[in-house]
Amino acid sequence: MSARLKEHYLNKVVPSLISRFGYKNRHQVPKLVKVVVNVTSKDAVNDSKVLDVMAEDLALITGQKPVRTYAKHAISAFRIREGMPLGIKVTLRGERMYEFIDRFFNLAAPKIRDFRGFPTDSFDGRGGYSLGLSEQVIFPEIEVAKVKKIFGMTITFQTTAKHDDEARALLEELGMPFAKRK
């Protein structure tokens, strides 16, 4: 069984973007390549067990086991040594990616406090979009009473779009709630 959002992409988004941007065929239409969910914690400098607690919650949210990320450079002011574990990340592709995005747009995003839409200025110029969340408890998989540590995360959407306007149109069509332009 295919993900609901993937079916929506194939049946509704592709024809809409073809007519909007004048693509010659379906293969020129931008698509989502991957979604990366990244968590980094300054508490991991003192206690690397914090990453295990965060990994449990991130695995529940994404449905995939996270991998650790390590410091590339030593920074003595922050007591960080090269190779020290500082965070965790999950790279989602395919069906899991579409399932996660569907849950995020329709269930988690409306639970963000004072939510008026995601900012439109976080595109990187090459089809990528990143946003930050301040806490993981907005996701329906997390039981607030069982949370051991509240942490934020960065979610990056990577598309095959060549320009920001194509990437924005793709994410809007998929259901991403952007802030209204003033």
pLDDT in tens, 144-181: 878 788 888 899 999 999 988 999 999 999 988 888 76
* Cα distance between residue 141 and residue 59, in whole Å: 10
Percentages helix, strand, coil for the chain (3-state, rounded to 5) are 40, 20, 35
* Cα distance between residue 69 and residue 44, in whole Å: 11
Q: Which domains does the chain have, with CATH numbers?
A: 31-174 (3.30.1440.10)
pLDDT of the residue at 2: 63
Contact 139, 147 (CB under 8 A): no
Indicate the pTM of the whole model: 0.88
Low-confidence ranges of the chain (pLDDT < 50): 1
pLDDT of the residue at 37: 94
Using left for φ > 0, alpha for ψ between -120 and 50, and beta otherwise, residue 5 falls in: alpha
Q: Of 3, 45, 155, 147, give the one whose Cα is nearest residue 90.
A: 155
Contact 149, 42 (CB under 8 A): no
